[in-house]
Structures are given as structure tokens and as C-alpha cells.
Amino acid sequence: MDDDAYDAARLALDRIQPEATFDHDGQRLHIKHLASHYYLPLLISDQDKIGYINHVIHVASERRFLNQLEQYLKETHNGFKQYDWWLFSRSDEALDRVILPYYDGRQGRIRDFHPDFVFWLVKGKAYTILFVDPKGMTVGDYQYKIDGYRELFHDATGCRVFWHGGYEVRVALLMYADKADEPPQGYRAYWCDSPQAMLQKLAP
């Protein structure tokens, strides 16, 4: 890219509004540009579903998580600044094959767990892939999902380490809810109720 093309691209980005709202047929769509999200823009709906466009974030718990994350990122000393590089993305079941298999004891079969968000965080040679699911504790099979994650990514010493391209890679899972002190003792380490607490859970 030459200097003129670079300047034109930079000016185009400067003109992008961080958020816009679009109303159609009684339904409202929010278009957000969150710089750390892997895909831009983010499409968010106030309604449970929106009829005129697909792949929109419409679940209340996901919207709440994104709002809290967006506010946290505005803080001067937010914990993400400790990382050399990081991005996150909302995982779309219809498009992405981000799956953690687990055994559902109530149904007696293997099922697929689709975490709602994935974060990639790099600090030095430490690379963390973090899955975050903000559905809350009303979804009663979270224990089975966490057990399935542990079977894949934990051993007797704790979180397994994978080496790839010179990086020490760990895979983490956190469930996100308004109150993270309610689950049984064996599962509390996997729950958080704020972006700050989410990053604190990742600390060694």
C-alpha cells in the first residue's frame, strides 16, 4: 500500500462512527465498532429476534456482557492493557465450528457446547485462548459443560500447556453471570461477574 492509499484508508476509518442505530419495521438494530472485536461491525438488537437480517447478537445476557466489556475498556487502567496483543469475537453457531463436546448426564449423550465468545490474549510467549459463556446459572447443564472442558484441557497438574510456534498456549473457560458466588464449590473457579474478575481468574 502506497502513502496515498494509506492516508485514504486512515481517513475513511476516522469517519466511521463508533455506534449507529437503524430502525426498520418496528425493530431496532445497533451497529457498533469495537476496535478489539475480530469482525467489524458488531450487530446488536434490542429484540429477542430481528426479522430483516441474520447473525445479530440479540440474547439479553450477551448484550449485557458486551455492554459491561465496552464500559470496562474505557477505564484508563483496564486489565487488558497488560497484554501485548488481544482480540475477541462473538462465536456464531450458524457460522463457526467452535465446539467443546461434553457428556450431558441428564440426557445420557454427548452434546456440543458452543461458548458465546472467544478471546485471544498474548503476553510475551504466553498465549491464552479464553472461552466465555454469559448465559447465567439458569442454564442447568453448566456443570456438564465445565466437566467436558476439564476433560479436554486439564490434567492432574492443572491446565494443560500446548506449544505452538514458540508460544505456551493454554485454553481457559469462564461462565459469566450477575452473581458468581452461587455455584457449588467445585465450580466457582469457572464463574465471574465482571470483565475485571474475568481477567483476574486468568492470573497464574
Reduced 3-state DSSP string for the chain: CCHHHHHHHHHHHHCCCCEEEEEECCEEEEEECCCCECCCCEEEECCCCCCCCCCCECCHHHHHHHHHHHHHHCCCCCHHHHCCEEEEEECCCCCCCCCEEEEECCCCEEEEECCCEEEEEEECCEEEEEEEECCCCCCCCHHHHHHHHHHHHEECCEECCEEECCEEEEEEEEEECCCCCCCCHHHHHHEECCHHHHHHHHCC
Q: Which of 65-79, 93-107, 159-173 has the lowest mean pLDDT?
A: 93-107
Highest average pLDDT, of 25-34, 39-48, 151-160, comes from 151-160
Residue 179: its pLDDT value, please? 72
* pLDDT of 11 strictly over 50: no
pLDDT value at 84 more than 60: yes
- Mean pLDDT for 69-79 is 89
Predicted local distance difference test score (pLDDT) of residue 16: 45
Q: Is the pLDDT of residue 152 over 80?
A: yes
- Overall average pLDDT of the 118-131 stretch: 95
Average pLDDT for the chain: 79
pLDDT value, residue 15: 45
Mean pLDDT for 118-129 is 95
| pLDDT for position 189 | 87
